[in-house]
Amino acid sequence: MSNPAFDLQGRVAVVTGASRGLGRAIAVALAQAGAKLCLTARDADGLHGTQSMILENGGDCIIAEQDVRNLESIGPTLDGFVTRYGAVDILVNNAGMESVRPSIDVDEALWDSIVSTNLKGAFFWSRAVGKLMAEKGSGGAIVNQCSLTSFVGVPTAVPYGASKSGVLGMTRALATEWAPYGIRVNALAPGYFRTAMTEPFYQDGDWQQQMLNKIPQRRFGSDSDIAGAAVFLCSDAASYITGHCLPVDGGYLASI
């Protein structure tokens, strides 16, 4: 017997950074749960790949090449989605970037690029979609991507950690401000997942073993691990949850 609280039939979901990795996994999972998908990313080829996966499995999906750092492009992109589907019920702010570098070597350009992608872009996408949700009057769900670095310090990841700590604060503040409109704002904090962005780390066998020793479940995350958590937070099953950040980390944070 299925639980209808997890059913996203009739919902329209926007996922940023959906061309690969966790964004692709989340987009596919939302489509499998019944949502219609509106996907953005800078990588057009990757976007087409995600769209094909959804369409081939009977889903409904449109795409738009968009860089979340380009704030002026958010409005027109969103307008195109609304023209197609009429509304937006779910937003997943997944677009992100990282560049591992000692702090003394971080320049302004790198700082601005990481913070603008991970934090600034997420806020202005949230602002645009939140306004639509409030005007529609039927609420909605926003899910941001935090990180383990939202909670712990990681050497050589200062701009990334600063941006993801900001996302955590933004999540809590928006949840409090927008609750009267029925808009829930939550976040995921993925642990160690092997994606294109993190692949350089996984080339080091010693690093892999060190990380596995720190994870109580003794394994890295998989697409299905993040997918289930995302569907939950986007669904009515989480209707009384807002302002929360859910670590999906195999117990890493609990064991520190």
Catalytic residues: 160
Query: Coil, strand or helix: which one is 190?
Result: strand
64 and 38 in contact (C-beta within 8 Å)?
yes
**CA count, 13 A, side-chain hemisphere, 218:** 0
| Residue 198 burial class via C-beta count within 10 angstroms: exposed 0-12, middle 13-18, buried 19 and up | middle
Q: What would the two tokens of residue 109 be?
A: 């350009």
Q: What would the two tokens of residue 84 be?
A: 């197609």
Residue 164 host element (H or E): helix 158-178
